Amino acid sequence: MPQQYLTLDRPAAAPTSEPVLVFLQGGPDDIPRTMVASVEQLVYGKIKVPYLAGYEHFERRVGDGAPLLFTWTGRTKIAE
């Protein structure tokens, strides 16, 4: 199965749940540290944030459930 990510430059299709505040840890200093997403967007436990000529990748850190914390796992470049 291909990797599934929430990409912050594309909104989720018709979210049906309340918005959830998510915290991002690590990565470049000027990446936002919080974002709002729907539960449907977070189902895969991975987020990719467009940044400069690539994406910053974050994965959910398993814990007690609140707050939702995603830690930086790496960067990929956008193919030209």
Tell the residue number behind the tokens 């430059």, with chain if given: 9
- The number of distinct structural domains making up the chain is 1
DSSP track, 2-69 = ----EETTSPPSS--S--EEEEEESS-TTS-SEEEE-TGGGTTSEEEEEETTEEEEEEEPPSSSSSEE
Q: 1 lies in a domain?
A: no
Q: 12 lies in a domain?
A: yes
Q: 50 lies in a domain?
A: yes
pLDDT tens digits, 4-56: 555 555 554 555 667 889 999 999 999 999 988 878 778 888 888 889 999 99
Q: Where in the sequence is the domain holding 66, given as residue range(s)?
A: 6-77
Contacts of 41 (CB under 8 A, 6+ apart): 6, 12, 15
pTM of the model: 0.73
